[in-house]
Structure 1
Amino acid sequence: MWEELTIEKNYDLTQTIAADIFAGATYPWEVLSAIGSFIKKLGEQLDSDVYKRIGEDVWIAKSASVAPTAYIGGPAIIGKEAEIRHGAYIRGNAIVGEGAVVGNSTELKNVILFNKVQVPHYNYVGDSVLGYKAHMGAGAITSNVKSDKTLVTISKQGEKLETGLKKMGAMLGDNVEIGCNSVLNPGTVIGKGSHVYPLSMVRGFVPAGAIYKKQGEVAKLNE
């Protein structure tokens, strides 16, 4: 087991309505295939005084702010006091946490956003899990399919961990900061509290508490 990549090391499960989906899983990407069915089951249990069901399999907290130009396809849950801004495109299988921001021209597909996540400007987030208060700068995206369509592996110090997945974007731990116009390649895992410089192309594992400057140049934060 690669302990640094585990759910336990990178995510505060008290900061998501989806905590139960992680039960029995070791790594965060293990839950990706279950997001849609989990939302349908959880949605039926939500308090109707707090959440309103919109159409088929879409539950939106009454305290959330949703722009009339946003699109939300099910299954989806939009948490309390979340903000879905103008032109946001939520394609389905999406959990948007409490107080999270999904912004202009941002697209989500098969994702879990923990509470207070911000993807506010021109982001694509697919087949990914973003931890508490993770933030993606303008134009930063997750790439979730390899160009040769082979299964995604995760690189760590010359070793590779097989995921068995054809589609996997990025796993961002709590309080991760992604700089503007960065690309997170398939199989990117960034440990909690780490920062990525703008215009970066990231692949593989970035340890917790680090700053990613460029490929091969990763330092401890504040060094």
Structure 2
Amino acid sequence: MSLELSVVVLAAGMGTRMKSALPKVMHKVAGKPMVNHVIDAAAKLDAVKTMVVVGPDMPKLVEAVAPHPTFEQTNRLGTAHAVLAAKDGLLGLTGNVLVLYADSPLFTAETLKRLVDAREEGDHSVAVLGFRPDDPTGYGRLVTDGKTGMLTAIVEDKECDDAQRLINFCNSGVMCFRAEDMIATLEAIDNTNAKGEYYLTDAVEVARNNGKSCVAVEVDEAETLGVNSRPQLAAAEAILQDRLRTNAMNEGATLIDPASVFLSADTKLGRDVIVEPNVVFGPGVTVGDNTVIKAFSHLESCVVGQGADIGPYARLRPGAEIGDGAKVGNFVEIKKAIVEDGAKVNHLSYIGDARVGAKANIGAGTITCNYDGYRKQHTDIGAGAFIGSNSSLVAPVEIGDGAIVGAGSTVTGKIDKDALVLTRAERTEKPGWAAAFRDKMRALTGKK
């Protein structure tokens, strides 16, 4: 691929079968909207310009694709009409123009590059991605010349004759155009068909009638899935999860039970990371080398250092930063907090809006009381500090390096370095009181 590449992403569909107030292409696969998967694939090809065709009243979609320019298809009159909605952006382009569908998030950059290369190498007017399903019923057929192998037509399923119906080479919808004659080709397409729409597939016929060549490139069917319903969204998720898991393992991570681990498109796992079963990685997670993520943990928008030990049943929320060799144990929740190198938060604790210093130890049941109903406040726990079990740290609070907080304490304010703090009530003991109480209650109730 040596010529410039521009991209048009069609995203104006209403997606009524999704039964959602959200634009169809904003539904997420592996933690990222489908439209952004498509844009990111094009970005890997160093596209000089990416344009997105949207429908009316889609502000969330416009925001999601920024800073790429958007063009509105006010009346939905077919796929060729949709591409021409971006005519102002197409003017003056040279090289290649790739037309993609925002509801088809599984095409890889490698596949798209093969299509662009094929168009460019033969200087074809149009190149089309095709696939071979087991059952081609319902798909447009790609008709090729038996001698040259060139694409001669795209025939919709309902319009196929008996011979064409036997063809199992089908249209994926993805096309690459020669930029210099793309607008003229699209404007020559008419709507003399049953639906009265302008079909992008007719570009092949127009190009051929003008004496120009077209070509088809074969792709694996799994990449071609278009999402129009919730079941299809789930199918796309399953395919992409398999890709992400395989890539993670090929890059040096161990997934003990891959099928039970769910990754996001941007999950980054270091070498020799071990992920136990039933772990979920939300968007924005980076895990360093030699870390163990134990079963049933959930991580999102967080950074985990090297050699850390997370879980089981840990929850790392956005803003959590876990240092090298740190431990976050079972039923521990960390939110917008730094747990520095070698620190331990092993059991049943909540740490939010806080810093836990290096090699500090947080006892079971400790919580940072960071919210007063109106404001979030910060808790700072010094290096080597020891917080006894079942302590409540009422922010804003600062605990010095090496300080010890006795179990069951409620702490406020500032604690000096190496100090001991105890806030328990003085013990009261009344010998024999419990036995006397039981005797009294038996007499009152008649119960033994």
TM-score in terms of structure 1 length: 0.63
**AA partner of residue 97 (structure 1):** G
**AA partner of residue 320 (structure 2):** A
Which ranges in structure 1 are unaligned for 5 or more consecutive residues? 1-43, 150-165, 216-223
Give the alignment partner of residue 290 of structure 2, picking from 63, 66, 71.
63
**AA partner of residue 293 (structure 2):** V
Partner of 1:105: 331
Partners of 2:351 and 2:289 lie apart in 1 by: 24
Partner of 2:122: none
Partner of 2:389: 180
Evaluate the alpha carbon distance shift between residue 50 and residue 59 of structure 1 in structure 2; reply closer, same or farther with a 3 A threshold: farther
State the Cα distance separating 1:169 from its structure 2 match: 3.8
1:83 aligns with 2:292: no
Evaluate the alpha carbon distance shift between residue 66 and residue 51 of structure 1 in structure 2; reply closer, same or farther with a 3 A threshold: closer
Partners of 1:200 and 1:97 lie apart in 2 by: 27
State the Cα distance separating 1:143 from its structure 2 match: 0.6
1:73 aligns with 2:282: no
* Structure ranking higher on relative contact order (CA contacts 8 Å, 6+ apart): 1
Partner of 1:127: 353
Partner of 1:5: none
CA RMSD of aligned residues (A): 2.3
Instruction: Indicate conservation of the 8 Å contact 1:183/1:200, yes or no.
Output: yes
SS in 2 for 1:185: strand
Partners of 2:352 and 2:308 lie apart in 1 by: 19
Evaluate the alpha carbon distance shift between residue 93 and residue 51 of structure 1 in structure 2; reply closer, same or farther with a 3 A threshold: farther
**AA partner of residue 143 (structure 1):** C
Partner of 1:221: none
Instruction: Indicate conservation of the 8 Å contact 1:104/1:120, yes or no.
Output: yes
Ranges of 4+ aligned residues in structure 1 off by more than 6 Å = none
Partners of 2:307 and 2:357 lie apart in 1 by: 17
Partners of 1:79 and 1:181 lie apart in 2 by: 27
Instruction: Indicate conservation of the 8 Å contact 2:335/2:352, yes or no.
Output: yes
Evaluate the alpha carbon distance shift between residue 81 and residue 116 of structure 1 in structure 2; reply closer, same or farther with a 3 A threshold: same
TM-score in terms of structure 2 length: 0.32
SS in 2 for 1:214: coil
State the Cα distance separating 1:47 from its structure 2 match: 10
Partners of 1:62 and 1:68 lie apart in 2 by: 18
Instruction: Indicate conservation of the 8 Å contact 1:169/1:185, yes or no.
Output: no
Evaluate the alpha carbon distance shift between residue 202 and residue 55 of structure 1 in structure 2; reply closer, same or farther with a 3 A threshold: closer
Structure 1, residues 50-70: CA drift from partner, whole Å, max 9, x if none?
Answer: 889x66321011300001310
Evaluate the alpha carbon distance shift between residue 55 and residue 143 of structure 1 in structure 2; reply closer, same or farther with a 3 A threshold: closer
Which ranges in structure 2 are unaligned for 5 or more consecutive residues? 1-265, 275-280, 425-448
Partners of 1:175 and 1:48 lie apart in 2 by: 28
State the Cα distance separating 1:48 from its structure 2 match: 6.2
Alignment size in residue pairs: 152
Structure with more of its chain in strand, by fraction: 1
Partners of 1:116 and 1:64 lie apart in 2 by: 13
Partner of 1:30: none
Evaluate the alpha carbon distance shift between residue 65 and residue 48 of structure 1 in structure 2; reply closer, same or farther with a 3 A threshold: closer
Partners of 2:294 and 2:271 lie apart in 1 by: 21
SS in 1 for 2:321: strand
Partner of 1:8: none
Give the alignment partner of residue 144 of structure 1, picking from 354, 361, 370.
370
Partner of 1:202: 411
Amino-acid identity (%): 30
Structure with more of its chain in helix, by fraction: 2
Structure with higher Rg: it is 2
SS in 1 for 2:354: strand
Structure 1, residues 88-127: CA drift from partner, whole Å, max 9, x if none?
Answer: 0111111101111101110010011110110100000000
SS in 2 for 1:204: strand
